[in-house]
A and B are shown apart, each in its own frame.
Chain A
Amino acid sequence: MKFYKSFLYTMGLLGVLSIMGISQSKAGFYDGKDVTVIINAGAGGGLTRTGRLFTTHMKKHLGKGANMVIKNVAGAGGVKGMNYMAEKAKPNGLTVLWGTSQQMAQLLKLPGVRFNLSKIAVIGAGGSSYLSIARSDFKPGIKQASDLLKVKKMIVGGRGTSDGLGIFARLPLDVLGVNYRYVPGYRGQPKLNAAIRAKEIGLLTTGGIGYIVFYKDTILKSGEAKALYYHSALGADGKFSDPGIYPKDVKHFLEYYKDTHGGKSPTGPLWEAYKWFSKFNSRPFGIYARKDNSPTHIAELRAAFRKTLSDPAFIAAWTKMVRSAPDFGVGKEVSWLLTDFDKISPGALAGMKKLTARKKKKKGGKKK
Chain B
Amino acid sequence: MIEALLEGLFLVFQWPAIGFLFLGVLLGIWLGAVPGLGGIIGLVLLLPFTFGMETVPAFALLLGMFAVTSTSDTIASVMLGIPGTAASQATILDGYPLAQQGKAARAFGAAFTVSAFGGVFGAIILAVSLPLILPIIKSFASPELFVLGMLGLAMVGSLSGGSILKGLSVACLGILLSTVGYGEAESIPRYHFETEYLLDNLPLIPVVLGLFAIPEIMELAIRNVSISRVPKDQTVGGGMLEGVKDVFRHWWLALRCAAIGTYVGMLPGLGAAIVDWVAYGHAVQSAKDKSQFGFGDIRGVIAPEAANNATRGGSLIPTVAFGIPGSLGTAILLGALLIQGLKPGPDMLTSELHITFSMVWTIVIANIVAAGLLMIWSKQVAKIAFLPGHLIVPGVIMFVFLGAWLGGAALGDWISCLTFGVVGFIMKRGGWPRPPLILALILGNIMENAFQISMGAHDGYGWLSRPVVLVVLVLIALTIFMSARGITKNKAAQKEVEADDPASKARQEAAEGGAKNPMISLPFSIFLFLFFVWAGVQAFGWPESVNEFPIIATAPGAIMVFAVLLFEAKEAAHEVKVQGGISSAYKIALEKAVAYRAVLFFGYLLAMIIVMLVLGQKFSIPLFIFLYLIRWGSYNWRVALGYAAGGWLMMVGFYDRTLDLLWYPSWLSNWLPELLPSWIPVWFFV
Does B341 contact A56, Cβ atoms closer than 8 Å? no
Flag if A44 contacts B334 (CB, 8 Å). yes
Asked if A187 is at the interface (CB within 8 A of a chain B CB), the reply is yes
CB distance from B337 to the nearest CB of A (A): 9
Whole-angstrom distance between the alpha carbons of A207 and B48 in the complex?
Answer: 24
Give bound CA distance, A22 to B653, whole Å: 10
A291 within 8 A of B: no
Q: How far does the alpha carbon of A8 sit from the alpha carbon of B142 in the complex, in Å?
A: 50
Instruction: Give complex CA distance A169, B676 in Å.
Output: 59
Q: Chain B residue with minimal CB distance to A23?
A: B681
Q: Mark A22-58, 1 if CB is under 8 A from B, else 0.
A: 1110000000001000000011100011001100100
Interface residues on B, range: 35 or more
Could you tell me the distance in whole angstroms from the C-beta of A365 to the nearest C-beta in chain B? 5
Cα A22 to Cα B346 in complex, Å, equals 46
Partner of A75 from B138, B184, B459 at Cβ < 8 Å: B184
Instruction: Assess whether B658 is interfacial by the CB under 8 Å rule.
Output: yes
User: Chain B 358-384 against A: per-residue CB contact (8 Å), 1 yes, 0 no?
Assistant: 000000000000000000000010011
**Bound CA span A181–B141, Å:** 17
Pick from B319-327, B522-530, B606-614 the stretch touching chain A.
Answer: B319-327
Known: A218-B346, A321-B339, A321-B341. A190 touches B138 (CB 8 A): no
* A14-B649, A56-B48 known; A84-B200 Cβ under 8 A: yes
Binds A, one of B73-81, B185-193, B561-569: B185-193
With an 8 A cutoff between CB atoms, is B500 at the interface?
A: no
Q: Which chain B residue lies CB-closest to A9?
A: B646
Distance of A133 from chain B, by nearest CB (Å): 14
Query: Which one of B182, B338, B456, B645 contacts A76 once the chains associate, using CB atoms below 8 Å?
Result: B182
**Residue B47 is within 8 A (CB to CB) of chain A in the complex:** yes
Question: Contact flags (1/0) for B14-42 with A, using CB distance below 8 Å?
Answer: 00000000000000000000000000000
Q: Which of B535-581 contact A (CB under 8 A)?
A: 543-545
Contact A8 B646 (CB under 8 A): yes
Which residue in chain A gives the minimum CB-CB distance to B197? A88
Question: Are A181 and B660 CB-contacts (below 8 A) given A14-B650, A44-B334?
Answer: no
Q: Could you tell me if B142 and A195 are in contact, using CB atoms closer than 8 angstroms?
A: yes
Min C-beta distance of A354 to chain B, whole Å: 18
25 A-B pairs, CB-CB below 8 angstroms? Answer: A3-B380, A7-B646, A11-B647, A11-B650, A12-B645, A14-B654, A18-B657, A19-B649, A43-B332, A43-B335, A53-B339, A75-B183, A76-B185, A84-B182, A84-B199, A84-B200, A111-B187, A190-B325, A190-B334, A195-B142, A195-B453, A197-B137, A200-B453, A218-B322, A320-B341
Is B387 positioned at the interface, with any CB of A under 8 Å from its CB? yes
Residues of chain A within 8 A (CB-CB) of B642 are 8
Question: Given the interface contacts A8-B642, A213-B338, does A18 sit within 8 Å of B456 by beta carbon?
Answer: no
Main secondary structure of the interface of B (DSSP, over half): helix
Q: Are A213 and B335 in contact, CB atoms less than 8 angstroms apart?
A: no
Asked whether A3 lies within 8 Å of B182 as measured between CB atoms, the reply is no
Which of B138, B339, B460, B660 sits near A69, CB closer than 8 Å?
Answer: B660
- Out of A48, A187, A199, which one reaches B141, CB within 8 Å? A199
A193 at interface, CB cutoff 8 A: yes
A112 close to B (CB within 8 Å): yes
Instruction: List B contacts of A19 (CB < 8 A).
Output: 649, 652-653, 657, 681, 684
A185 vs B391: C-alpha distance when bound (angstroms): 49
